[in-house]
């Protein structure tokens, strides 16, 4: 998993071109069908895109409910605060049995854009002490755009959470005035403003309200800013 990239070439700019070719070939193969069984395994994302997917796979494969690390290698007090971890839990244990593709529906345009951004160095990349590189962060709004849907539909859709915003407000009614799902101050925050998949989630209301609920393992707005700035 860790250092080998399959090409045997040293790390450096030239290494990206074989990857590009491989990925384009894979995208073509996917388009041609017959590829899905492997493509649906989390190891696929990691094997094909090598370095940039290592930290995501490592974070994804952690146990729920324990101390762990995020995609940048930061300590996360409770891995339950990372959506990718909790969604990977088997259905019979209350999870969603999710793999990478349950959340990331790879459209052709998304994959080609990612490959070209990656190959041309046009994508923000951050250093991770253990794995080398982590991609610039996308939010649920951007991820939804790839699928021509609005940001909410990334989570609220018939295959995943077949509920409305109103249902969410009810689900967290115990927080009263600090209910994170209420439309507030003339705006509706995106799910991803608070729920993070590959790093600890953050309650965005805590930017201004010290008494906003911070569930176990979650971060306050300031802590999350600090973590992101360190990346």
CA dihedral 126, 77, 95, 47 (to 10 degrees): 30
Rounded (5°) CA angle 144-94-83: 35
Residue 1 in contact with ligand HEC, rule: CB under 6 A = no
Q: Kindly tell me which residue out of 19, 26, 168, 224 binds ligand HEC, with binding defined by CB under 6 A.
A: 168
CA 67 to CA 151: how far, in whole Å? 29
Residue 39 in contact with ligand HEC, rule: CB under 6 A = no
Select the span of 8-16, 24-32, 148-156, 223-231 touching ligand HEC (CB under 6 A).
148-156
Residue 140 in contact with ligand HEC, rule: CB under 6 A = yes
Residue 224 in contact with ligand HEC, rule: CB under 6 A = no
Residue 196 in contact with ligand HEC, rule: CB under 6 A = yes
CA dihedral 8, 12, 17, 20 (to 10 degrees): 90
Q: Maximum distance among all alpha carbons in the chain?
A: 56
Name the residue nearer to ligand HEC (CB basis): 10 or 92: 92
Q: How far is the CB of 143 from ligand HEC (least distance, A)?
A: 6
Q: Kindly tell me which residue out of 76, 115, 197, 219 binds ligand HEC, with binding defined by CB under 6 A.
A: 197
Nearest CA among 170, 224, 67, 48 for reference residue 59: 67
Q: How far is the CB of 17 from ligand HEC (least distance, A)?
A: 20
List CB contacts of 122: < 8 A, sequence separation 6 or more. 116
CA 131 to CA 129: how far, in whole Å? 6
Residue 194 in contact with ligand HEC, rule: CB under 6 A = yes
Map the footprint of ligand HEC across residues 79-138, applying CB under 6 A.
83-84, 87, 98, 100, 102-104, 135, 137-138
List CB contacts of 118: < 8 A, sequence separation 6 or more. 16, 19, 20, 49, 52, 135
Q: Kindly tell me which residue out of 19, 69, 115, 191 binds ligand HEC, with binding defined by CB under 6 A.
A: 191
Name the residue nearer to ligand HEC (CB basis): 10 or 177: 177
CA 117 to chain centre: 18
Nearest CA among 70, 59, 85, 81 for reference residue 217: 81
Binding site for ligand HEC (CB under 6 A): 42, 45, 53, 56-57, 60, 71, 83-84, 87, 98, 100, 102-104, 135, 137-140, 143, 152, 155-156, 161, 165, 168, 171-172, 177-182, 184-185, 189, 191-199, 203-205, 207-209, 213, 215
């Amino acid at each position: 998993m860790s250092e080998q990239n399959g090409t045997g070439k040293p790390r450096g700019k030239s290494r990206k071109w074989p990857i590009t070719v491989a990925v384009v070939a894979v995208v073509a193969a996917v388009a041609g069908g017959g590829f899905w069984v492997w493509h649906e395994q989390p190891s696929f994302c990691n094997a094909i895109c090598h370095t940039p997917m290592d930290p995501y796979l490592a974070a994804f494969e952690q146990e729920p409910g324990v101390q762990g690390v995020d995609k940048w290698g930061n300590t996360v007090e409770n891995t339950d605060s990372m959506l990718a971890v909790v969604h990977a839990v088997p259905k019979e244990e209350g999870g969603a049995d999710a793999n990478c593709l349950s959340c990331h529906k790879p459209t052709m345009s998304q994959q080609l854009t990612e490959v070209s951004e990656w190959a041309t160095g046009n994508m923000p990349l951050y250093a991770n002490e253990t794995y080398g590189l982590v991609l610039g962060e996308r939010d649920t709004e951007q991820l939804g755009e790839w699928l021509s849907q609005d940001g909410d539909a990334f989570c609220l859709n018939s295959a995943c959470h077949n509920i409305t915003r109103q249902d969410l407000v009810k689900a967290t009614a115990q927080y009263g005035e600090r209910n994170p799902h209420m439309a507030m101050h003339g705006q509706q925050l995106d799910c991803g403003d608070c729920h993070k998949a590959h790093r600890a989630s953050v309650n965005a209301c805590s930017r201004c309200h010290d008494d906003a609920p911070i569930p176990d393992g979650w971060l306050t707005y300031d802590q999350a800013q600090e973590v992101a700035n360190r990346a």
